[in-house]
Amino acid sequence: MTEDLTLSAPANLRDLGGIPAEGGVVRRGVAIRADDLSLTPREDAEALVAEGLGAVIDLRSPGEVRNTGRGVFGELPVAYHHLPLMPGLRPTTGPGAGVDPREPAGMGGMYADLFSTAAGQIVTALAVLAVTPGATAFHCSAGKDRTGVLAAAFLLALGAEDDDVVADYAVTGTNIEAVGRRLQPLMGAILASHGVDRNAFTRSAIGQDFSGAAMETALATLRERHGDPLRPLRDAGLSAELVAMLRRRAVQPAG
């Protein structure tokens, strides 16, 4: 399918460095969140590797991966970890089933559900972030929902405040129209194969009312359910030792 696409640089890529965390701020060059990296032109991919990218965590479903694979990153010296957080774009059961992407409360509930249903994958991703030399980039398609869940888990593990987790999530709102334009050629075929109306999906994905409300709901739901929002991940193997490794790797003193 890539032969019919015009590859373009990610529209929602950002280093999480500088976000406040317990004991300092997130170190730059450790964690990068992004939209679909498989669509990246060679020049941009090579630049990321030259700047220290050591691994890619792919959160897309198996069906999405079958369409474009790893892209040019499959030819570069970058470790690859496929850790799908959902079985597909339109699940019939479990998180995301029947959720209207325009409705923040429903999306927030789905994000909270993923902390339980995809806990093993999230913990594995955090372990990759803790041990990979250089930067690790993680992505789904738009870099909003599944990527937002992993970014939230990463920041919470580093002791970030809820407001800072929500603020990071909300930054995607400034990029979402560009993401929609970037993904449109690919998503038409993928959505059709899932029985999803492309126009309706696009309208909901790039709505002007994007805010941090969905992530606010997710964090409030996790705290209501578990007290500690990381409890589902701790039960799945997020040990104190792994959290300590992650913090040593990813937190530096402020200033």
Task: Please list the active-site residues.
Answer: 140
| Integer Cα distance of 141 and 92 in angstroms | 19
- Paired residues of 139 in beta bridges: 34, 58
- Paired residues of 61 in beta bridges: none
Contact 54, 31 (CB under 8 A): no
Task: Provide the pairing of β-strand 24-26 with 251-252.
Answer: antiparallel
Structure tokens at 217: 């709901």
The residue written with tokens 């937190």 in the block is 251
Residues 6+ apart with CB under 8 A from 180: 142, 202, 205, 206
| Integer Cα distance of 123 and 209 in angstroms | 31
> What are the φ/ψ torsions at residue 21 (nearest 5 degrees)?
-140, 170
Classify the C-alpha dihedral 193-198-202-203 as positive or negative.
negative
Structure tokens at 163: 């407001």
Containing 254, the helix (H) or strand (E) segment is: none
Residue 62 DSSP SS3:
helix
Structure tokens at 140: 């789904």
